């Protein structure tokens, strides 16, 4: 009977150490990766973290609804803050009107202590004029919500100082007299232009009202869409003081 040969260990026992080494290597790799990630996270500058918080806050702000803003009574203050930031002033310019204006002055007189009438003098001036109109943010504004409609009760349209094109200002004498100083009449007409321009600017407000209405509506619609998650779902209509019925309740929001 042949001598007993040595017994070989099982294959599983022979391969145990390579597996242990591989497992330890994976653990070390994962530990190193975790330490690197933790080091990078704790080393993020404070500015970046602040930006992240600001972004989260902004995203959260976009979720605010128009109806919620009305319930909380913040719609008016938020609008003013936005308007002041965009325009940089307390005025929102909403319309421009350009016209060729004609001004006329007529003077009549007498001589010999009023006993002899003197022919009248008629002087005329023409020039291009630009009128601009604005709404004052510091004046009373009101916002009302009914279903999906926002009604803006805006303050009155106000004219800025009219811009007269002095380089194109032309004077004409329509009627003259050798008994009268036409130059003096022309000077008095020139001095009266400022008052006449302001009066015409106020009288021309009705000509720009619809343009101003569209400008204000677009301004408010853009603001609603930018600041509120459901802002695009609302329609905006604008009323000026002369269009509001006397019985309308004007309790500010």
Is the backbone of residue 88 left (phi > 0), alpha (psi -120 to 50) or beta? left
**Model-wide pTM > 0.75:** no
DSSP symbol at 95: E
Question: 189 near 207, Cβ under 8 Å?
Answer: no
Beta-sheet strands, E only, within the chain? 91-111, 116-136, 142-146, 149-153, 158-159, 163-164, 170-175, 235-239
Compute the distance between CA of residue 144 and CA of residue 87 in angstroms, rounded to an integer: 23
Compute the distance between CA of residue 59 and CA of residue 62 in angstroms, rounded to an integer: 5
Is residue 220 exposed (0-12), middle (13-18) or buried (19+ Cβ within 10 Å)?
A: buried
Question: 178 near 184, Cβ under 8 Å?
Answer: no
| Alpha carbon separation from 64 to 112, 200, 225 (Å, rounded) | 82, 45, 11
Residue by residue, pLDDT tens for the chain (253 residues) are: 444 544 444 444 455 555 555 555 555 555 555 554 445 434 434 433 343 343 334 334 444 789 888 888 888 888 887 777 766 667 889 999 999 999 999 887 654 445 556 678 899 999 999 999 999 988 889 999 999 999 999 999 999 999 999 999 999 988 876 666 788 889 999 999 999 999 999 999 999 999 999 999 999 999 999 888 888 999 999 999 988 877 544 444 4
Pairing state between β 149-153 and 235-239: parallel
């Amino acid at each position: 009977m042949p001598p007993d040969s040595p017994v070989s260990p099982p294959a599983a026992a022979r391969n145990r150490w390579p597996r242990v080494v591989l497992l330890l290597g994976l653990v070390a790799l994962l530990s190193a990766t975790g330490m690197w990630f933790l080091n990078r996270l704790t080393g993020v500058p404070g500015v970046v973290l602040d930006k992240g918080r600001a972004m989260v806050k902004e995203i959260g702000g976009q979720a605010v609804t128009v109806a919620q803003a009305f319930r909380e009574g913040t719609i008016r203050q938020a609008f003013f803050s936005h308007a002041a930031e965009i325009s940089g002033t307390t005025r929102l310019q909403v319309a421009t009107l350009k016209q060729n204006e004609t001004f006329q002055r007529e003077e009549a007189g007498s001589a010999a202590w009023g006993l002899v009438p003197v022919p009248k003098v008629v002087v005329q001036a023409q020039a291009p004029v630009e009128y601009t109109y604005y709404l004052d943010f510091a004046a009373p504004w009101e916002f009302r919500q009914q279903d999906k409609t926002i009604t803006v009760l805006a303050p009155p349209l106000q004219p800025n100082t009219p811009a007269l094109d002095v380089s194109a200002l032309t004077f004409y004498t329509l009627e003259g007299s050798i008994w009268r100083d036409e130059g003096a009449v022309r000077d008095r007409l020139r001095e009266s232009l400022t008052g006449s321009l302001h009066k015409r600017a106020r009288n021309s407000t009705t000509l720009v009202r619809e343009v101003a209405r569209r400008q204000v509506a677009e301004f408010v619609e853009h603001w609603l869409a930018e600041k509120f998650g459901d802002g695009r779902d609302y329609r905006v209509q604008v009323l000026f003081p002369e269009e509001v019925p006397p019985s309308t309740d004007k309790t500010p929001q």
